[in-house]
Amino acid sequence: KNEVEQSPQNLTAQEGEFITINCSYSVGISALHWLQQHPGGGIVSLFMLSSGKKKHGRLIATINIQEKHSSLHITASHPRDSAVYICAVRFGQGAQKLVFGQGTRLTINP
């Protein structure tokens, strides 16, 4: 079964801390997405990657294909980073469907 597991489920940290959210998947993938869902409910795509590392501002996403693992890092975290972060993967070439993790609820306290 194609599965996506995220950890931790909930994470509370202080402003300025370095944050890591993990995503593991069961079989080979063609692409992995990191999404952010704000308390208001809207979903925003942060990254799409199939290898290596991507950086956008304070956000960094890495993927290790051999270990079937991806991480999302936030440097110098801020209360406005508080949201649910969702990992979603596309299993195999030509697959149309994204399989989603359950999300990591991040709370950054001032």
Judged by beta carbon, residue 29 or residue 108, the one nearer another protein is 29
Which positions from 37 to 76 touch another protein by CB under 8 A, shown as an x/- string?
A: ----xxxxx--x-x--------------------------
Nearer to another protein, 14 or 45 (CB): 45
Give the separation between CA 72 and CA 30, rounded to whole angstroms. 18
What's the rounded Cα separation, in Å, for the pair 99 and 15? 31
Kindly state whether residue 88 participates in binding another protein, applying the rule CB under 8 A.
yes
| Smaller CB separation from another protein, 11 or 46 | 46
